[in-house]
Amino acid sequence: MIELIWAILNLAAVIGVIIFCVKKAIEIRQKVGLFVAIVFSYFALSFISRPGQNKEDKNFKFENKETTTQKLHQNTYMSDITLEDNIMSKFSLITVYNDENALRASISKTGYTFGTDWNTDYININKTSRKNVYQYEIIGTRNWHILGINVYSESKEFKGVKEFKPLH
């Protein structure tokens, strides 16, 4: 719910800045000229950006020592575990694993993410004694932005034990 309010606040701020810039551009055009109004509009609106567009999801690879019981060509599976699901977005843990260990993991954030972005700092996945049941710990930061400016950084941690079911 907070993300929805934050997105509406961001949208209102963007619309407010655009209206302000248009009004000032009209005033400048009337007093100085069209070319100066175009240059002003370009520079005034250029600072509005979409944060996080160039970021790639971190893919954590785990170093697992090969044991004598491991086969050379084991089957690998992919699992998608939902960590958080709210009105605006969904956090998922995507894991590639075999019968013995987790091999790779990443966090996926989908949905409407206007005004926030996610940075994964740490992922730890350990196999439990039960088959296909893993214990996970994820630490990351959710950044809250208004008009592309970072306003607040929230530390977030996900912990749990889940059965990894292969995607079909």
Rg (CA), the chain: 23
21 CB-near residues (< 8 Å, 6+ apart): 40, 41, 44, 45
Check residue 56 and report its DSSP letter.
Answer: -
Outline where 32-158 has alpha helix (H). Answer: 34-45
- Which of 58, 19, 50, 17 has the alpha carbon at shortest distance from 145? 50
pTM above 0.85, yes or no: no
The whole-angstrom distance between residue 126's C-alpha and the CA centroid of its chain comes to: 24
Digit-by-digit pLDDT tens for the chain (168 residues) are: 788 888 888 889 888 888 888 888 888 888 888 888 888 878 777 766 554 444 555 666 666 555 444 555 567 888 888 888 888 788 888 888 887 778 888 888 888 777 888 888 888 888 888 887 888 899 999 898 887 788 899 999 999 888 887 776
